[in-house]
Amino acid sequence: MPEREKADRTAEETKPDEAPKRRPVRAKRVKASKPAKAAPQEPEETSRLEPGQVHVYGLDGKPVKAVDLPAVFRSDVREDLIRRAVTAFQANRRQPYAPTHGAGTRHSVRWSGKGQGVSRVPRIRGTMIGAQAPGTVGGRKAHPPRIEKVWSQKINEKERRLARNAALAALSDSARVASRGHRFKDGISLPVVIEDGIESLEPQGSATKAGTDLLARLGVLPDVERAKAGRHIRAGRGKMRGRRYRVPKSLLLVVKDPSRVRRSFGNLPGVEVVAPSGLNAEILAPGGHPGRLVLFSEGALESLRSWNA
């Protein structure tokens, strides 16, 4: 064998053993986990408010600043006093009434006497038609209402004032306001406070249209629409006495000069416009149920700071 071939064979025999080839390891596919749902955050409008504060909204519906509520809004919500005051307000407006003199007795009747085989009922002469007695058609009432009856109720001045303050304190509880059926935008601070520009609002076209647009920007227009949808014919004889329709209570506007604002909001169903001096338990808690949706102008809210809680 040639020496060159021997050298090549010897070199091959002296080479170290090569490591066996391994198949490349594929990286395992890790299933991407779904991102955890973030906890629901409060709207930006209420996240920066401290207890006892509300936002002041501009005419564009956006918050401008935050102000502290007057001390009267920290009163205790006494529902018993509210209902007593509302009942007194309603009773003091009640008008006494009675049937006219001689009602039900304007008949020429006779009684045939005992032993005739008929009931002892006065009857119209010449007929067997009963009349004049309480149990007959067109007869008088057995126990009619009297004009002398006093319907009014007395309530102490201190109780009336405490009831008003209690109704004011319930305005800032959004859960209580929603339980009354009012509808408003989520995250809005209650009571709603708006700049004093609402009192100098000068619409270019329809005044009611301008007021409706402003309420829509503030997020309280759904409550006016609820009142409009709830308008219905009253049950009973009241429908024949000038009270044919009944409309649910909606937004209450409290401004320093109601005459300027009533042109834009007075025609909306269920909406009332009053001055701070006109606030009482019945207006703030219709029917004795506290928690009405109320919109204050900034100046009207400032005028309540002098009220004692």
The 10s digit of each residue's pLDDT in 229-239 is 999 999 999 99
Q: What percent of the chain has pLDDT over 90?
A: 72
Decide if 214 contacts 270 (C-beta within 8 A): no
Q: How confident is the model at residue 9 (pLDDT cuts 50, 70, 90)?
A: low
CA distance 161 to 284: 12
**How much is the pLDDT for 43?**
46
The whole-angstrom separation of Cα 291 and Cα 190 is 10
The model's pTM is 0.76
When pLDDT is averaged across residues 142-148 and rounded to a whole number, the result is 94
Per-residue pLDDT reduced to its tens digit, 37-71: 544 444 444 457 888 899 999 999 999 999 999 99
Q: How far is 149 from 166, CA to CA, in rounded Å?
A: 32
State how far Cα 61 lies from the chain centre. 19
Q: What is the pLDDT of residue 117?
A: 86
Average pLDDT, the chain: 87
Q: Which whole number is the average pLDDT over 113-136?
A: 90
Alpha helices, H only, the chain: 3-14, 44-47, 79-92, 157-169, 174-179, 207-218, 221-229, 258-265, 281-284, 298-302
Rounded Cα distance, 89 and 21, in Å: 100
Q: Does the pLDDT of residue 286 top 90, yes or no?
A: yes
Per-residue pLDDT tens for 18-29? 555 566 556 555
Tell me the mean pLDDT in the region 199-217: 88
What are the backbone dihedrals phi and psi of residue 64, each rounded to the nearest 5 degrees, phi first?
-105, -45
- Amino acid sitting at position 262: R
> What's the pLDDT at 273?
96
Q: What pLDDT does residue 228 have?
A: 96
Domains and CATH numbers, the chain: 52-94+147-231+243-306 (3.40.1370.10)
